[in-house]
Amino acid sequence: MSVPTVPTALLSMPDTCRDTDSWTCAVVYQWTDNEALAHAAAWIIGKPLAIAWLVVLGLFARWVLVKVIERLVARAATGMVPSRLAKGPFFDQTVENGAHRRVQRAQTMGSLLKSIVTGLIFVVVVMMSISELGYDIAPLIASAGIVGVALGFGAQSLVKDFLSGIFMIFEDQVGVGDTVNLGEASGTVEAVSLRVTRLRDVDGTVWYVRNGEIIRVGNQSQNWSRSVLDIAVGYTEDISRVSRILKEVAHDLWEDEAYRDRVIEEPEVWGVQSLGPDSVVVRVVLKTMPQQQWVVGREMRQRIKARFDAEGIVMPTPRMVWQDPKPPTT
């Protein structure tokens, strides 16, 4: 009896090998006419080869998807060139910080997508391998669904933290180095992860805030900032003269080379903001580079104090009026 070739063996599946559904069993059986040897070959050679082929396909699919994700991350990290608001080291530092934040955000999202792709491919390969061994995977899929629901109910806060962290990073709500107000805590952001955000306040206290507990974010460091100064003067002062002096002081600061790259627009005097019991409040605003509003505000207050002293403008002081009680009647 001539030994059949492999193509001939692959034309049909012998009845004895239909339970294994293995072409290795079919080939060995047609070569040897030995049912036990054919079944052994199916389990020793056929099944491992099939599982190895699934693993190779899974690794190849992961490699392709990771390359696609890396290309998307590189494109997102490059971004667009920001518009030039001012010239100087502070602008260059702001651009550098913005580019660093863009790269960090893109890398974080890329790492998350890679983890999701790896997990999905791993689960698919494991399920297909179990099916290849002849086991019914329908109960496993049903059990996985039940376990997923149980974990979802038991770890709702953790899932909420991760989802909130993903959207915070994707929407660029906060970044490392930003000065933010998160409601219960405020300060400078030191780290942003998918679960928690770490920031340090002005006293040096480090706060760890779960992303799922963040309801609102007040960011004082994106694009530009504003220094708002409310200057109180007495009712006896000429408000037009006070406004003119404040505008001159602000313009001098705007023209100062030391602050030219911190203040990005001509300062404005908005006028009377409020009337108090013993003072009139005049508001001055200065648009600055991000996180420079405090430095500019301190310098502006110092210059206003010096100019008011030179111009003889007295800032009001609280006064208390004491009234003698009425003499007792006899």
Picking from 64-78, 139-153, 172-186, 203-217, which range would have the lowest pLDDT averaged per residue? Answer: 139-153
Residue 162 placed within a domain: no
Instruction: Please count the structural domains in the chain.
Output: 3
Q: Residue 211 sits in which domain range?
A: 171-219
Whether 185 and 145 map to the same domain: the answer is: no
Write phi, then psi, for 322 (nearest 5 degrees): -100, 135
Whether 206 and 133 map to the same domain: the answer is: no
Picking from 84-93, 103-112, 272-281, which range would have the lowest pLDDT averaged per residue? Answer: 84-93
Residue 87 placed within a domain: yes
Of all helices (H) and strands (E), which one includes residue 284? strand 280-288
Please tell me whether residue 269 adopts helix, strand or coil conformation: strand
For position 128, what pLDDT does the model report?
84
Whether 294 and 190 map to the same domain: the answer is: no
Whether 6 and 129 map to the same domain: the answer is: yes
Inform me whether the pLDDT recorded for 2 exceeds 50: no
Picking from 1-10, 98-107, 127-136, which range would have the lowest pLDDT averaged per residue? Answer: 1-10
Q: Give the pLDDT mean for 310-325.
A: 73
Higher pLDDT, 326 or 214: 214
Residue 160 placed within a domain: no
Helix %, strand %, coil % for the chain, to 5?
55, 15, 30
Rounded alpha-carbon distances, angstroms, from residue 229 to 122, 130, 299, 304 = 59, 70, 11, 10
Q: Give pLDDT tens digits for 35-57.
A: 555 555 555 665 677 778 888 99
**C-beta separation of 272 from 280 below 8 A:** yes
Please tell me whether residue 288 adopts helix, strand or coil conformation: strand
For position 95, what pLDDT does the model report?
52
Residue 255 placed within a domain: yes
Whether 7 and 144 map to the same domain: the answer is: yes
Rounded alpha-carbon distances, angstroms, from residue 164 to 42, 154, 156, 173, 185 = 50, 18, 12, 11, 17
Of 108, 126, 154, the one marking the end of a domain is 154
- What value does the mean pLDDT of the chain take? 76
For position 43, what pLDDT does the model report?
59
**CATH number for position 276:** 3.30.70.100
Rounded alpha-carbon distances, angstroms, from residue 241 to 14, 40, 163, 232 = 106, 103, 55, 14
Residue 319 DSSP symbol: -
Whether 175 and 294 map to the same domain: the answer is: no
For position 84, what pLDDT does the model report?
40
Inform me whether the pLDDT recorded for 3 exceeds 50: no
**C-beta separation of 209 from 168 below 8 A:** no
Picking from 23-32, 139-148, 189-198, 290-299, which range would have the lowest pLDDT averaged per residue? Answer: 23-32
**C-beta separation of 255 from 317 below 8 A:** no
**What are the residue ranges of helices labelled H in 133-235?**
138-154, 156-170
Residue 327 placed within a domain: no
For position 229, what pLDDT does the model report?
92
Whether 47 and 117 map to the same domain: the answer is: yes
Q: Give pLDDT tens digits for 281-308.
A: 999 999 888 888 889 999 999 999 999 9
> CA triplet 36, 42, 46: central angle to 5 degrees?
160
Using the structure block, give the residue that is written with the tokens 């913005």: 98
Q: Give pLDDT tens digits for 137-157.
A: 777 777 767 766 666 666 677
Q: What percent of the chain has pLDDT over 90?
A: 16
Nearest to 91 by CA among 289, 257, 258, 253: 289
For position 182, what pLDDT does the model report?
87
Whether 99 and 10 map to the same domain: the answer is: yes
**C-beta separation of 176 from 101 below 8 A:** yes
For position 97, what pLDDT does the model report?
55
